[in-house]
Amino acid sequence: MIPKELARKIRYLEIYTSKAVNDVLAGEYESTFKGQGMEFEEVREYQPGDEVRSIDWNVTARMGRPYVKRFVEERELTVIFLVDLSASGAFGSTRRMKNEVAAELCALLAFAAIKNNDNVGLIVFTDSVEMFVPPAKGVSHVLRLIRELLNFKPKQALTNIAEGLDYLGRVTTKRCVVFLVSDFLGEGYEKSMRVLGRRHDLIAVSVADPREIRVPNVGLVELEDAETGERVVIDTGSLAVRKRYEQLGHAQAGRLRELFRSMDVDHIEVMTDQDYVLNLVRFFRTRERRAAR
């Protein structure tokens, strides 16, 4: 039996994401992810205007007149959500924690994917891979993924992004669209990201909380690293401390942007206090414009 609170959250997400997909995202998603290649459909007789390069010379020789091969775009995609649910994601200064926003965003994209008849899979990792749900289609499958994300209890606290990337590289041979969702507080994943990015359409989704960028003036505050347990006391009453904290937050965000840009990896930035639907729409439209050049 599903706990009532979890069932209520799943139902809310189903209603909310369905509306967002139908009203906003479905067309954006389809026009952005156009398929993974061309698929042979038929051989037919040559017609004026056909590409000479498409002539099938074997059939032409056999029939005594020119025939061409016809291909259609292979629309069906496989979308994998590679989600970091380590302890650092269990933080939120607004009404939602980072892990909750990650689950909601994945639900939204998953419903957009199945509306276009795509396969959807899920990999959840901390410092090891803790869950793998193979790609499949259908609403019931997506609801299962949402349930797993919302109800997930990590066995480990630490983060190893490279482990998640390497695992995906081992279990998936077909080219996929991969949404890597994380707060990217880990280190040492650059090589694995470059390798996976050459084989798959990799999109980095960074989730951050506004209190990771700036803190209010509330006097002495003890901060604890959720993954290591390390604690530090800072004086938020000091303007210099608050400015330095904000500088470090912006510097981290800037490093991520530069890293993904250097790898030619698309990047979506999400804040827990903002509407991520707008971020997704901007991403889809930017990517579509880039592809049309």
Tokens of 168: 């995906």
Sheet harboring 177-182: ordered strands across? 129-136, 119-125, 78-84, 177-182, 201-208, 266-271
Supply the DSSP symbol for 211: G
Q: Are residues 164 and 211 in the same domain?
A: yes
Residues 6+ apart with CB under 8 A from 104: 13, 16, 17, 96, 276
Per-residue pLDDT tens for 146-193? 889 988 999 988 999 999 999 999 998 888 999 999 999 989 999 999
- 41: domain range? 37-74
Tell me which of 74, 101, 125 is where a domain ends. 74
Task: Map tokens 């795509």 to a residue.
Answer: 118
Distance of CA 92 to the CA centre of its chain: 20
Q: Are 148 and 133 in contact (CB under 8 A)?
A: yes
How many domains in the chain?
A: 2
Does the structure show a pLDDT above 60 at 38?
no
83 — alpha (psi -120 to 50), left (phi > 0) or beta?
A: beta
Q: Are residues 53 and 158 in the same domain?
A: no
Q: Are residues 287 and 258 in the same domain?
A: yes
Please tell me the distance from the alpha carbon of residue 194 to that of residue 165, in angstroms, as a whole number: 10
Amino acid identity, position 206: S
Q: Are residues 140 and 11 in the same domain?
A: yes
User: Residue 269: its pLDDT value, please?
Assistant: 95
Q: Are residues 68 and 158 in the same domain?
A: no
User: Residue 41: its pLDDT value, please?
Assistant: 59
Per-residue pLDDT tens for 209-250? 999 999 999 999 888 888 888 898 999 999 999 999 999 999
Q: Are residues 47 and 174 in the same domain?
A: no
User: Residue 288: its pLDDT value, please?
Assistant: 79
User: Residue 99: its pLDDT value, please?
Assistant: 92
For 138, 196, 199, the CA distances from 172, given in Å and listed in that order, are 20, 10, 10
The CATH number of the domain where 207 resides is what?
Answer: 3.40.50.410
Residues 6+ apart with CB under 8 A from 90: 97, 98, 99, 226
Q: Are residues 187 and 121 in the same domain?
A: yes
Q: Are residues 52 and 123 in the same domain?
A: no
Tell me which of 74, 92, 127 is where a domain ends. 74
Parallel/antiparallel/unpaired status of strands 37-45 and 201-208: unpaired
User: Residue 9: its pLDDT value, please?
Assistant: 73
